Amino acid sequence: MNATWSRFNITSIVLGFAFLYLPIVLLIVFSFNESKLVTVWGGFSTKWYVSLFHNQGLMDATWVTARVGVISATVATVLGTLAAITLTRYTRFKGRVLFSGMVFAPLVMPEVITGLSLLLLFVAVGLDRGFFTVTLAHITFTMCFVAVVVQSRLVSFDRSLEEAAMDLGAPPVKTFFQITLPVIMPAIISGWMLAFTLSLDDLVIASFTSGPGATTLPMKIYSQVRLGVTPEINAACTILIAVVAVGVIIASIANKRREVQRQRDEQAAQRG
């Protein structure tokens, strides 16, 4: 295999990753630019970060976004996990085709359609647009992503573990919490993180379903970007990237540690 990892393959990977990362790196570099012109280097400075923290509108938007993200990701994870269990475990029930359709379709549905349709629903039932409606909208579109992530873990799950627990007298609900849940936990955690970042990231659906007083960070960034590119936005983006990157790295380290621990347990079990 090593011999076939030719120069062509290495080149395509290097070029591909350069394409993926160069714009982000440039964005971060220019957030430390002294000059107000985003594309002309005027020396190192952190003044845009300072002015960022004095920008009350931006700070408010950040707070709204964080709350929407945490609440919607948590509810979406519960609903998405239930949906994943339904998809993998209950292969025969009325309306299963419709159900799987409703889980998979939002993954590719253009955001403008989802946003518009949810807004019209909220208007039809007389819900005031604001924090609550954005959260509901985010739960709906992120739960499908959670369902897909958890489902892929459930498909490879060894069901004999559950059967063994139930044979030993554990009721189904207890079996779920003591056997199934710990095994699929890594998938649930990454599902939560995915839901959180999708919510953090969303501009289109939030713009449709939000109301006065519930401006999210992407909406704020978008309205400022339309007025022109400023180093302050670069700084805000850099902080957002840093938060996500740290989260992903912590999660992957935790995952790796768990994996190592699991292998050790398995070896110990085999020896014992």
**70, 153, 245 from 250: Cα distances, Å:** 18, 20, 9
Measured from the CB atom, is 17 or 53 closer to other proteins?
17
Measure the CA–CA gap between 118 and 129, rounded to whole angstroms: 11
Q: Which two tokens stand for residue 114?
A: 């989802």
Q: If binding is defined by CB under 8 A, does position 124 make contact with other proteins?
A: yes
Backbone angles phi, psi at 110, to 5 degrees: -55, 135
Measure the CA–CA gap between 135 and 66, rounded to whole angstroms: 11
Measure the CA–CA gap between 223 and 234, rounded to whole angstroms: 14
Q: Which two tokens stand for residue 49?
A: 């970060």
Q: Which two tokens stand for residue 29?
A: 């570099």
Q: If binding is defined by CB under 8 A, does position 66 make contact with other proteins?
A: no
| Residue corresponding to tokens 């549905």 | 109
Q: Scanning residues 163 to 192, which ones bind other proteins (CB under 8 A)?
A: 163-164, 166-167, 171-173
Measured from the CB atom, is 189 or 204 closer to other proteins?
204
Q: Scanning residues 37 to 56, which ones bind other proteins (CB under 8 A)?
A: 38-39
Q: If binding is defined by CB under 8 A, does position 82 make contact with other proteins?
A: yes
CB 21 to other proteins: min, Å: 7
Measure the CA–CA gap between 173 and 178, rounded to whole angstroms: 9
Q: If binding is defined by CB under 8 A, does position 18 make contact with other proteins?
A: no
Among 178, 186, 185, smallest CA distance to 162 is for 178
Q: If binding is defined by CB under 8 A, does position 237 make contact with other proteins?
A: yes
Q: Which helix (H) or strand (E) holds 195?
A: helix 181-201
Q: Which of 59, 66, 109, 189 binds other proteins (CB under 8 A)?
A: 109
Q: If binding is defined by CB under 8 A, does position 230 make contact with other proteins?
A: no
CB 171 to other proteins: min, Å: 6
Q: If binding is defined by CB under 8 A, does position 155 make contact with other proteins?
A: yes
Measured from the CB atom, is 27 or 59 closer to other proteins?
27
Q: Scanning residues 194 to 223, which ones bind other proteins (CB under 8 A)?
A: 197, 200-201, 203-204, 207-208, 218, 221-222
Q: If binding is defined by CB under 8 A, does position 34 make contact with other proteins?
A: no
Measured from the CB atom, is 2 or 56 closer to other proteins?
2
